[in-house]
Structures are given as C-alpha cells and as structure tokens.
Amino acid sequence: MTHGNKAAVLILVAVGTLLAHPSADAAERKTKSSETTRATVKLPRGFVYLDTLAPDIINDMRYATPDNFTGRRVPGYHANRCILARPVARAVARVQKAVKKTGYTLKVYDCYRPTRGVHAFFQWAQARFGRPNKAYYPRISRSRIIPLGYIAKRSSHSRGTAIDLTLVKLAETATITATAQTTAKSRRRATGIPCIKPEPERAPASIDMGTSWDCFDELSHTHHGATSGAVQANRRRLLRAMQAEGFRNYRREWWHYSMSLRQFQRLHNFPVE
C-alpha cells in the first residue's frame, strides 16, 4: 500500500470513529458549554458570586423556589446562587474561614435581591401577590407585617450589601447528598408548623436559633428575652462572627446582616441566575 493510500485509510478510520460516537461527543461539548456559561455569567461591576470566593458555604436560596412565605418563586430569582458586592463577599468568606475553625459552616438563605423581588414582597404583604401562609406569621395579621418593620419598600439586599444566613454544624453536613439537596421540601411548607416552634429543617439542619428564617414574630428579634439560653448562645455565636468582619445585625431578624458601603448605594434589578 502506498503512503497516499495509508493516509487516506487513516483519515477514513478517524472520521468513522467520530461518526460512531456523535451523541457522546455532543454531550461532552454541551456539558462543557453549560459549565462555562454558569461560571461566566456577567454581573454588574463590583458584584461577585459568593461561591467563587467560598465554595464550601451552603446555599439554600429559597426565594428561587416556592418554599418561602409567598408560596411562589419570587420574581428575579432563577438560581440557587448567592451574589454580593465584592467587599461583602470577601468579608463573608472570612467569616466562613473563622467559623470552620470552631466546627461550623455558614448556610445562606438570601443575598442580593432584585428590586422586583422587593416589590413582590410588598405586594404580598398587601395581599396582591402569592398566597397567605400563617406558618411564617402565626401571631400577627398579614396587614401588620409592614408596619412592624418585617417588610419594606426598599432593601439593602438590592445593593448587594445584605445577607441572610445561619450556622450549621460541620458534622451534620457529611450526610448531605445531591438528591436530598435538590428534592427535599421543608417541614414547614409540608405541614404548616408555625415558625416559632422548634423544627428540624431540610438537610443540612441549622443550629437552634429559636425560630425559623423569615419568621415574622417578636421571637425573631435577636436579643428577645423569651428565647432560651441555648438559643441566645447560638445567636451570639453568629453575631460575634459577623461583627468581627464589620457586619451590622438588624435587631428584628437574627439572620439579617449588612454593611454600609459608600460605593454601593444604588438599588439593582438584574436577575439572580
């Protein structure tokens, strides 16, 4: 066989190999493309995905699902990812590093919030969006939620300078599986257990903070005297860790922390994706 014929045979074999496995090759290209797209979604200047700085923080962004007080996916939330102003994200990453040394990890419920989401909350409080769910406000009427300061027309979340979070024991995260993370529903949504009652959350479970996240009740106030000594100790543990990095707590919500940054005053409406 001549050198020319050998070359032709090799080319035909190579082409045949590619044609024999088109789906696998296409699937691989699609997977790589999807990963690249997810990793390179362009954010406004100064914003960053928290998982690029602290990938071990647990994301439980419930506004991207119907598993929240509105009973619907909140407008503007399309992914279980935390976006923050870069200085805030760096500070949270430092908090994560500190709490891990003491056997804990952070779990994040909400970070940057599009203004359309803030508007939806305001509409919900006025009974114009979503549905009522007394589990989140068992001792007050929905009409009192705005006057009592639990929902407002503007939010520091829309600046990327606020975060809702809690602590999880590192030992409890070992039992998490990808299936449990994507399919689990909270006990509250399934049974309507009031947010002021102790309850196991979806895996991984946070430590006992006295109430659930987004509980519109006095017991959610960070220093409320009716909470137990163990609960107060847990809240102080989170408070001290966050204050050490310059965060300020909202006294009506043990889970809410923010920073005042002069360069991040604009309210944004880009989606979480």
Question: Any idea where the domains of the chain sit in the sequence?
Answer: 1-40, 47-258
pLDDT, tens digit only, all 273 positions of the chain = 554 554 444 444 443 443 444 444 444 444 343 333 345 578 999 999 999 999 999 999 999 999 999 999 999 999 999 999 999 999 999 999 999 999 999 999 999 999 999 999 999 999 999 999 999 999 999 999 999 999 999 999 999 999 999 999 998 775 554 334 444 444 444 457 899 987 667 677 889 999 999 999 999 999 999 999 999 999 999 999 999 999 999 999 999 999 999 999 999 999 999
Q: CA-CA distance, 1 to 254, in Å (whole number)?
A: 80
Of the residues 28, 199, 218, 253, only one is catalytic, namely: 253
Percent helix, strand, coil in the chain, to 5, is 40, 10, 45
90, 47 Cβ separation under 8 angstroms: no
What's the confidence (pLDDT) of residue 195? 94
What's the confidence (pLDDT) of residue 191? 54
Question: Both tokens of residue 267?
Answer: 């309210």
**35 noted as active-site residue:** no
Element (H, E) at 165: strand 162-169
What's the confidence (pLDDT) of residue 1? 54
Element (H, E) at 110: strand 104-110
Question: Domain 47-258, what fold?
Answer: Muramoyl-pentapeptide Carboxypeptidase; domain 2 (3.30.1380)
186, 217 Cβ separation under 8 angstroms: no
Bridge pairing between strands 47-49 and 83-85: antiparallel
Element (H, E) at 5: helix 3-20
What's the confidence (pLDDT) of residue 12? 40
What's the confidence (pLDDT) of residue 11? 40
What's the confidence (pLDDT) of residue 200? 63
Q: CA-CA distance, 51 to 221, in Å (whole number)?
A: 29
Q: Which residues pair with 59 in a beta bridge?
A: 108
Report which of 260, 270, 266, 272 is spatially closest to residue 87, judged by C-alpha positions. Answer: 260
Residue with tokens 């969006």: 129
| Strand ranges for the chain from DSSP E | 47-49, 58-59, 83-85, 104-110, 162-169, 248-249, 256-258
